[in-house]
Amino acid sequence: MSVTPDIQPWSALLDAGRSDERLVREAFEGAREAVVVPLPDTLHPLLVAALLDAGITTLYSHQAEALQAAWDGPTIVTTGTASGKSLCFNLPTLDVLCRDAKARALYLYPTKALAQDQARAINALGLSKQVRPAIYDGDTAREQRTQIRRRANLVLTNPDMLHMGILPNHRAWGDFFSNLAVVVVDEAHVYRGVFGSHVANVLRRLRRIANAYGTDPRFLLASATIANPVELAERLTGLEEIALVDRDGSPGARRQIAMWNPPLTDPALGTRASALGEAAEIITSLARSGARTICFIKSRKAVELVARLVALADPALADLVVPYRAGYTPQQRRDLEDKLMRSELLAVITTNALELGIDIGALDAAVVVTFPGTVASLRQMWGRAGRRGRGLALYVAGEDALDQFFCRHPDEFLDRPVEAAILEYENEPIHLAHLLCAAHEGPLSAADSATLGPRWEAHAQALEAEGELVRRDDGYVLRHAEDYPAARVSLRSASPDSVAIVDIVSGELLGTVDSGRSHMTVHDGAVYLHQARPYLVRELDLDARRALVEPFGGDFYTQPKKETMTDIEALLERRSTMGVTLSFGRVNVTDQVLAYQRKKLPSHEIVDLQGLDLPETTFQTQALWYELDGDLLADDFPLEVLLGSIHAAEHAQIAVLPLLAMCDRWDIGGLSTNAHPQTGGPTIFIYDGHPGGVGITRQGFSCFETLVADAHRLIAECPCELGCPSCVQSPKCGNLNEPLHKAGALEVMARMLER
């Protein structure tokens, strides 16, 4: 990459960043010429005519390659953002539907917005007699569902609806499954970790039901660039010999890349200006200059806060810069998407809900606030800018340790390769839950080895021993025939339930939050943000699963304090290394939210600490833990120093674990103690933050020596005196970052590296 000056709507913004050194690195991606080929004469004539009417007279080379591969067998396409991947699977699918009036196709999208966008694109081709697309998701009116099952030959849905509504009711879909020819899985890179492990089971159940109706549909997948696309496709579907199309023939946008680090406000403490405040300033500047912008932020709360800060900075932008996130009602989402499509907005601030391929019009700039967890996600987000010309891709670092690590090594950051996606469909709690769902859909029998895997029967026997299944002549079935296990399995969270958030003044349902997150986000006294408007939680009613809120005009926000305990359930691996006893296994993690801090805006000054009375929550997961031998600590670590040292070491190691595994810091939890009841001594736990675990901490166990070395480097390079958010403080610490001892952590890990 090279630096090339350019006069653009964002030039003044970048000039200001250069002058005060907030702009720490600039780079440039040059434009790429397209490689095009003629429309294949083997396509159905009606489809060719529709393409020509839509102005599509040629294909990019990868689209033609994908078409041929799809005719030959299962295929995955991994090309860049805005490379026309949709046509890669639309062409072979629409060709089938034009040739066979009975054929059916199923499209799976991770978000409802993507399905809406794709339905618009298909309808625009005008093949209304041959292709009858319909969206079937949670927003579909019940009176329309029967008609969709009867009439539609291309159903667009999401894994949640397939899992919860379609597969358990497959008898109502008998004609559809009897003629199912193509299954499309778009944005396949999203299906990693816990979500991916769930979806891999859902897709195996889909293949099983299709086989039962006599069909073996062709699977076509599309993904952003990742390191292991074929392996991911095979793990998701259970199929083998999947063809890969990865030579991108689309034109590349000319794009300017900028890394932005908020200024230090206290060099001794290592504190920096708020990344959210910087983001609000950047968005305000871009909006005023007329640059259409998308801004990605990890959390729903931060999305709302930045939108509020922009509106406070310039009230004229209040209706032109909007937040967008999950949890809004269907009508709220549709209204925002329509405004984006019609270019009525200057900026949208969103979680990863809009990271994916939905067409929201021409965008000039993409701003990513803090590292999104993976390079693959970062490049996907950056790719939203400059789709129709030049663009700006800007990364705003946070105080988080990994963000500051990258700012100290910008070239290492910009040149990092994309990661491999991790998922494990046989993760025990996930797989067993889906076996129950499969048993509800039909008796489990020997034929299921082809779809559910060779070890399905051993798992079924375990479920029989637990009293969940019974064995009959035709296979394993649910003990209670009236049971509906899919209702208990949430694909996207640890909790199958959600909490409704109700405005007690207007009576309006504002949205929902997973019940597993409700203790942290909508506890009594919490400040909850919705569409940039703050609300105060008056009551969290766990029995009724609702949080009652009212509009709030105060100048503070809230941060919960929790207590965590771990119980070792099973030791799976153990080795001695670096002067510690290192273990990997299954643990039970128990959390309890005890209190919350109130902090002033915008200074973040602590107002007070309020106590809470909430029940404990417990989940099982995978973890690594290591016991520090006595001679490693010697006599120079009194109790108060020891507690702060191992707590700081735990934070640093969690911060750098995403460098080794495709995960986000928020996917990992930790606990440090001077005397764990099961180990009898000082112990540090690092655990997968989702029930069951998906291999994140297994990777940390395997690469433990690298993990410790990276954490030591992270702390040693930080110029602060006592520890700061850039090295040992954690934004997700349930103990509000107390106690921490930077020097002690550095010394502990230095001694480990010497062993």
309 CB contacts (<8 Å, ≥6 apart)?
276, 277, 280, 602
Please give the structure tokens belonging to residue 639.
């109790």
* Model pLDDT for residues 145-157, shown as the tens digit of each residue: 999 999 999 999 9
pLDDT surpassing 70 at residue 4: no
Q: Name the range with the highest mean pLDDT among 146-155, 266-275, 723-732.
A: 146-155
Mean pLDDT of the chain: 89
Q: Which tokens hold the place of 541?
A: 């009613």
Q: Check residue 512 and give its pLDDT.
A: 79
- Coil, strand or helix at 78: strand
- Residue from 171, 163, 173, 103 nearest 137 by CA: 163
In this structure, of 5-9, 338-342, 668-672, 701-705, the range with the lowest mean pLDDT score is: 5-9
pLDDT at 494: 45
pLDDT per residue as tens digits for the range 277-293: 999 999 999 999 988 89
Q: Is the pLDDT of residue 412 over 90?
A: no
Mean pLDDT confidence for 56-66? 96
What pLDDT is attached to residue 225?
A: 82
Phi-psi region of 265 (alpha: psi -120 to 50; beta: other; left: phi over 0): alpha
% of the chain beyond a pLDDT of 90: 57
Q: What percent of the chain has pLDDT over 70?
A: 95
User: Between these two residues, 47 and 1, which has the higher pLDDT value?
Assistant: 47
For 332-373, how does the pLDDT look when each residue is reduced to its tens digit (9 = 90+)? 777 877 787 777 888 989 887 665 655 566 788 999 999 887
* Two structure tokens written together for 693: 């675990």
Confidence of residue 387 (pLDDT cuts 50, 70, 90): low
pLDDT for 1 equals 42
At residue 26, does pLDDT exceed 50?
Answer: yes
- In sequence order, the β-bridge partners of residue 296 are 350, 368
532 has a pLDDT exceeding 70 = no
Least trusted range by pLDDT, from 116-120, 303-307, 491-495: 491-495
**CA nearest 722: which of 270, 408, 335?**
270
Mean pLDDT of 52-81: 95
pLDDT at 235 exceeding the cut of 70: yes
Better-predicted residue by pLDDT, 110 or 585: 585
Rounded Cα distance between 596 and 602, Å, is 18
| pTM, entire model | 0.78
Who contacts 689 (Cβ-Cβ below 8 Å, separation ≥6)? Answer: 621, 666, 667, 668, 669
Question: How far apart, in whole angstroms, are the C-alpha atoms of residue 205 and residue 193?
Answer: 19
pLDDT score of 546 more than 60: yes
Nearest to 119 by CA among 86, 165, 77: 86
The pLDDT of residue 260 is: 96
Q: Looking at residue 523, what is its pLDDT?
A: 94
* 663 band by pLDDT with thresholds 50, 70 and 90: confident
